[in-house]
Amino acid sequence: MRISVVIQGSPQSQSCATAFEYTKAIIESENEVYRIFFHQDAALAGNSLNEAPSDEPRIGELWSELAAKHKLEMIVCSTSAARRGILDKAEAKRRGTKSNLLPNFFLGGLGLLMDAIFESDKTITFGEWWKKSFLSFQVVYPT
């Protein structure tokens, strides 16, 4: 089964940690992870400058290592990233500064999210559902 994962909670949230464990479970079950999409505050997981207290894991680095090991496609919403000061190499070069996007994370738009939804058998969303800005999708299949 082809599964995509959408994360909306910050790297410090339980939703980001749960999404990480869920993604590992997908891999161990021999299902296919089609794409992982970091939206809203989850974009901060891709920020190399994001620090965690010494007794907490650096979730962004854990995601990066998992992606490298299993060749996962991890997309950070480009608008969410821009609003949070996250720059990839191209944008950093244009601004005359350094990239702060962790390895194995890539910037992309909502079109890649829509592609993931339509190309996957399941799309699982992790996030703070009580926020008004929660992004939800209803996929309707033609009959």
Active site includes 16?
no
pLDDT tens-place values along the chain, 143 residues long: 999 999 999 999 899 999 999 999 999 998 999 999 999 999 999 999 988 788 888 999 999 999 999 999 999 999 999 999 999 999 999 999 999 999 999 999 999 999 999 999 999 999 875 554 444 444 555 54
pLDDT of the residue at 104: 98
Q: Which of 6, 42, 77, 112 is catalytic?
A: 77
Phi and psi, residue 56, nearest 5°: -120, 150
Q: How many Cβ atoms from other residues are within 10 Å of residue 9's Cβ?
A: 24
pLDDT of the residue at 88: 95
Question: Are the beta carbons of 92 and 86 closer than 8 angstroms?
Answer: no
Strand partners, 106: 75
Determine the Cα–Cα distance for residues 13 and 44; give it in Å rounded to an integer: 11
